[in-house]
Amino acid sequence: MQTQFKTGLVWFRRDLRPHDNAALSAAVASCDTVHCVFVFDREILDTLPRTDRRVEFIRESLVELDSSLRDLAGKPHAGLIVKHGWAVEDIPALALELGVDALFAARDYEPQALVRDASVRSALETHQISMTLVKDHVIFEDREVLTQTGKPYGVFTPYKRAWLARLGDVPPRTHSIATHVSSLAERPSHYAVPVPSLDSLEFVPSNLKQLHIKPGVSGANALLDDFWERMDDYDQTRNFPSVKGPSYLGVHLRFGTVSIRHLVGLALQRQLQGSEGAAVWLSELAWRDFYFQILSNFPHVATGGYKREYDRIEWEQGEHAQALFQAWCDGMTGYPLVDAAMAQLNQTGYMHNRLRMVAGSFLVKHLGLDWHWGERYFAGKLNDFDLAANNGGWQWVSSSGCDAQPYFRIFNPVTQSEKFDGQGKFIKRYLPQLGLLDAKSIHAPWLAKPAALTAAGVVLGRDYPSPIVDHAVARATTLQRYAVIRKEDQTSVSEEQ
């Protein structure tokens, strides 16, 4: 079959795998010869601290990807070309150097990426080089799932029903390269060292290995094999941070070392066999698509509230607000579940989903701080940071987002702790100074009997802080703060337990 282009270039971004890769599949099917590139983009990297697990994760994943591409091609010098520079300059320059006719990449939906891709497209067009962007990172994108009136959904439950109906009972179609691997090209000789060292990127090793976070497709497959044995229990275990309930695949989905189509296909298979755990996990994957389509169709969420009226809320400011924020960041609020959650984030780059809600709600509705502050902090810390999901989660806890919790639902961190970490196992893991407290006292040490504190060797203010805010006072203040946009009748006020 005659191909469309003589030479093509695949630009890997957040799809770091060779199999079921939409851009790679499109390229090898359309071109006689295909080169592959990844750019460590300084527009992103220069803003990061010199120790960043995500950069290390990407770098190690690229080593594996390069090896896999060489094996597939059966050519010793095939594989990746890896650049460290400015993508908007390096991609067009490389396309000219290689004499390519077409560039292929997976579509990205974030505002910064849209600007970048538009610039690259413009530069390529001046040299009559085509640019093809394909859907890879989601099941349904942009306006593929719409209401009966042709509008994007703003509420998850009806979106999920429509998403599932469109998905049907057949796993999503995957993308194969098997019949076209011979088109994968060898690298030019001056790209003999494909993946630069972490040091040459001006980064230093993190604790990625100590955390046993294995990058690449092999890391994703190991986690998936483990979760496959636990998937049926997901609905029962997912809310308890001391239990091995989640899949822990977030970072692999973020960088595309696993295919979303593969995961949805597996979840669908188990759901059709009657697994409630698989059904709930499939719903979580639908949430992921939901937030991506929100970002695409309502781009103002990247800078403000989905519900624009919530931008009128006046948050705490000044030195006191900064001090409260720092205490939250450092896990020194005096509320053990919140502080343990922040310790988990700071030490590992991961936070359990239930705790993301609890810690986020505490920042906004106990400390009265702008949700943007928490969004930025999570963006800098989370291994699996994804703008769409992170933004959606923070707007959910602040009540400003689509399908968000009502303003008057304020998580009580003590009751949340008692309900989801009843024996304090999670708290004790990340706050070892509270390790000898009994199961009742550990959720609210300031309410513990002096004898219990003495027996545990805990002195409040020395070993662990007293609460920086009172829950009841903070709740009343939040209800007043939200009065500027409140429409519901005051009698509807209730508290999330």
- CB of 358 closer than 8 Å to CB of 341: yes
Q: What is the pLDDT of residue 496?
A: 36
| CATH code, domain with 354 | 1.10.579.10
Q: What is the pLDDT of residue 2?
A: 72
Residue 184, SS3 per DSSP: strand
Amino acid at site 293: Q
| Element holding 53 (H helix, E strand) | helix 53-73
Q: Which residue has the tokens 């959910």?
A: 396
The residues pairing with 460 across neighbouring beta strands, listed in sequence order, are 464
- Of 276, 353, 446, 496, catalytic: 353
- Structural domain contains residue 202: no
Which bin fits 155, alpha (ψ -120 to 50), beta or left (φ > 0)? Answer: beta
**436-447 pLDDT per residue, tens:** 999 999 999 999
- CB of 293 closer than 8 Å to CB of 139: no
Short-list 313, 323, 346, 496, CA closest to 413: 496
Short-list 254, 207, 250, CA closest to 227: 250
CA 425 to chain centre: 26
Whether residue 322 is found in the same domain as residue 458: yes
Q: What is the pLDDT of residue 403?
A: 83
* pTM, full prediction: 0.95
- CB of 414 closer than 8 Å to CB of 421: no
Q: What is the pLDDT of residue 142?
A: 95
Residue 86 bears catalytic tag: no
The residues pairing with 38 across neighbouring beta strands, listed in sequence order, are 12, 82
Q: What is the pLDDT of residue 494?
A: 35
- CB of 261 closer than 8 Å to CB of 139: yes
- Structural domain contains residue 84: yes
Whether residue 329 is found in the same domain as residue 391: yes
Lookup: tokens for 338: 């919140």
Gap between the Cα atoms of 95 and 97, Å rounded: 6
**358-402 pLDDT per residue, tens:** 999 999 999 999 999 999 999 999 999 999 999 999 999 999 999
Other residues' Cβ atoms within 10 Å of the Cβ of residue 156 = 19
- pLDDT: is 497 or 61 the higher one? 61
Whether residue 144 is found in the same domain as residue 133: no
Whether residue 280 is found in the same domain as residue 322: no
Q: What is the pLDDT of residue 497?
A: 37
- Structural domain contains residue 303: no
Gap between the Cα atoms of 471 and 491, Å rounded: 20
Judge whether residue 106 has pLDDT over 90: yes
Q: What is the pLDDT of residue 269?
A: 96
The residues pairing with 83 across neighbouring beta strands, listed in sequence order, are 39
Whether residue 356 is found in the same domain as residue 475: yes
Residue 31, SS3 per DSSP: strand
| CATH code, domain with 89 | 3.40.50.620
Quick one: average pLDDT of 302-318? 96
Whether residue 313 is found in the same domain as residue 390: yes
Residue 284 bears catalytic tag: yes
Whether residue 380 is found in the same domain as residue 421: yes
Whether residue 323 is found in the same domain as residue 402: yes
- CB of 419 closer than 8 Å to CB of 241: no
- Of 284, 316, 346, 446, catalytic: 284
Radius of gyration of the chain (CA): 24
- Of 11, 328, 373, 394, catalytic: 394
Lookup: tokens for 340: 């343990």
With cut-offs at 50, 70 and 90, classify the pLDDT of residue 1: low
- Structural domain contains residue 185: no
- Residue 192, classified by CB atoms within 10 Å of its CB into exposed (0-12), middle (13-18) or buried (19+), is exposed
Q: What is the pLDDT of residue 489?
A: 33
- Structural domain contains residue 359: yes
Task: Please state the domain count of the chain.
Answer: 3
- CB of 47 closer than 8 Å to CB of 22: no
Quick one: average pLDDT of 170-192? 92
Whether residue 157 is found in the same domain as residue 42: no
Other residues' Cβ atoms within 10 Å of the Cβ of residue 264 = 21
- Structural domain contains residue 357: yes
Q: What is the pLDDT of residue 404?
A: 80
* Beta-strand runs (E) in 26-77: 31-41
- Structural domain contains residue 210: no
**Boundary (domain end) residue, out of 262, 297, 332:** 297
- Residue 446, classified by CB atoms within 10 Å of its CB into exposed (0-12), middle (13-18) or buried (19+), is middle
Alpha helices in 151-273 (DSSP H): 156-167, 216-228, 234-237, 250-255, 260-272
Residue 16, SS3 per DSSP: coil
- Of 281, 371, 373, 396, catalytic: 371
Residue 371 bears catalytic tag: yes
Residue 464, SS3 per DSSP: strand
Whether residue 227 is found in the same domain as residue 165: yes
Q: What is the pLDDT of residue 416?
A: 98
Whether residue 128 is found in the same domain as residue 142: no
- Of 287, 328, 373, 396, catalytic: 287
Q: Which residue has the tokens 């949805």?
A: 264
With cut-offs at 50, 70 and 90, classify the pLDDT of residue 185: very high
Residue 394 bears catalytic tag: yes
- CB of 194 closer than 8 Å to CB of 79: yes
Gap between the Cα atoms of 314 and 303, Å rounded: 16
Q: What is the pLDDT of residue 405?
A: 81
Whether residue 483 is found in the same domain as residue 358: yes
Residue 287 bears catalytic tag: yes
CA terminus-to-terminus distance, the chain: 63
- Structural domain contains residue 348: yes
**Boundary (domain end) residue, out of 277, 297, 317:** 297
Q: What is the pLDDT of residue 344?
A: 98
- Of 221, 315, 316, 496, catalytic: 315
Q: What is the pLDDT of residue 487?
A: 56
**190-222 pLDDT per residue, tens:** 998 789 999 999 999 999 999 999 999 999 999
**Boundary (domain end) residue, out of 297, 318, 334:** 297
Judge whether residue 10 has pLDDT over 50: yes
Q: Residue 154's domain spans which residues? A: 138-173+217-297
Short-list 31, 54, 413, 330, CA closest to 201: 54
Gap between the Cα atoms of 172 and 30, Å rounded: 22
Quick one: average pLDDT of 104-119? 98
With cut-offs at 50, 70 and 90, classify the pLDDT of residue 343: very high
**139-159 pLDDT per residue, tens:** 999 999 999 999 999 999 999
Gap between the Cα atoms of 220 and 248, Å rounded: 9
Instruction: Give percent of the chain above pLDDT 70.
Output: 97
Instruction: Give percent of the chain above pLDDT 90.
Output: 93
Lookup: tokens for 64: 């594996």
Quick one: average pLDDT of 445-469? 97
